[in-house]
Amino acid sequence: MKVVGRPRLDQFCRRHAPARPPAQAWLAEVLVANWEGPQDIKIRFSTASFLADNFVIFNLGGNKYRLETQVAYAAGVVAVKRVGTHAEYSRWKD
- Break the chain into its structural domains and give their ranges: 2-92
Which pLDDT band holds residue 63 (cuts at 50, 70, 90)?
Answer: confident
| Residue 67, H or E segment | strand 65-72
Residue 57 near residue 66, CB atoms below 8 Å: yes
The model's pLDDT over 4-21, given as tens digits with 9 standing for 90+, comes to 999 999 999 999 999 999
Between 3.30.429.10, 1.10.8.100, 3.30.500.10, 3.30.2310.20, what CATH number should domain 2-92 receive?
A: 3.30.2310.20
Q: Which amino acid is at 30?
A: V
Residue 22 near residue 60, CB atoms below 8 Å: yes
Q: Which amino acid is at 80?
A: V
pTM: 0.91
**What is the pLDDT of the chain when averaged over all its residues?**
93
